[in-house]
Amino acid sequence: MVPGQADRLGRLVDQLLDLSRLESGEVPLRKEELALHPLVEALISEIDVARPDREVALRNDVPRNLPALFADRERIHQVLFNLVDNAVRFTPPGGEVAIIARRDGDRGRIQVRDTGVGVAPEHLPRLFERFYRADPSRSRDGGGTGIGLAIARSIVEGHGGRISAESRPNNGATFTFDLPAAPAAVSVIDRRAPS
């Protein structure tokens, strides 16, 4: 076996098992109040350690005062890590990846936006299918297994949300998903609403 091939195969098996459990509902989501800004700060620090040689700027554009979401911290970390790591890989040196969030009614709307190579329109509808790769010529040695976005979709849908992608070739990509606000945050907003 080629060096590193066993590790990649092991990661693929783990991801497939994870995806299978998520899709079947076997994985309980441990939902709690989740402050997004510190989670994104921690994620950026992790990527700084994992990819110290990257030449892509990471920006946390999540407001510190964004009301808490109601979500599984570890699973949302997994979604964000996958989206940000992909964005870094497809953004050329000197580019930028921004994590953006805002309140949208009783939901939080989160975006990962990059200044990378973008995705051709014909690939957008299939990006979240397992094993789908927009660039089949790209080597799997770069670390991708082709199921990270399928896992992200399953996690977001397990929270009652939706995930989508927008892009134009050579103009970057934006991945957007939504999550429910924490019940306390919703009631605070409801009390502020004019009657």
The helix (H) or strand (E) run that includes residue 157 is: helix 148-158
Q: Which of 79, 94, 58 shows the shortest CA–CA distance to 177?
A: 79
Number of domains in the chain: 1
Structure tokens at 23: 């899709």
Question: What is the domain extent for residue 40?
Answer: 5-192
Q: Which of 6, 71, 4 shows the shortest CA–CA distance to 39?
A: 71
- Angle, CA 35 vertex, CA 31 and CA 180 arms, to 5°: 50
Q: Which of 103, 82, 97 shows the shortest CA–CA distance to 152?
A: 82
> In the predicted model, what is the mean pLDDT of residues 15-23?
61
Query: Are the C-beta atoms of 110 and 40 separated by less than 8 Å?
Result: no
User: Tens of pLDDT along 67-111?
Assistant: 999 999 999 999 999 999 999 999 999 999 999 999 999 999 999
User: Tens of pLDDT along 155-194?
Assistant: 999 999 999 999 988 889 999 999 999 987 554 443 333 4
* SS3 (DSSP) at 163: strand
Query: Are the C-beta atoms of 128 and 79 separated by less than 8 Å?
Result: no
- CATH code for the domain of 176: 3.30.565.10
User: Tens of pLDDT along 29-62?
Assistant: 899 999 999 999 999 999 988 888 889 999 999 9
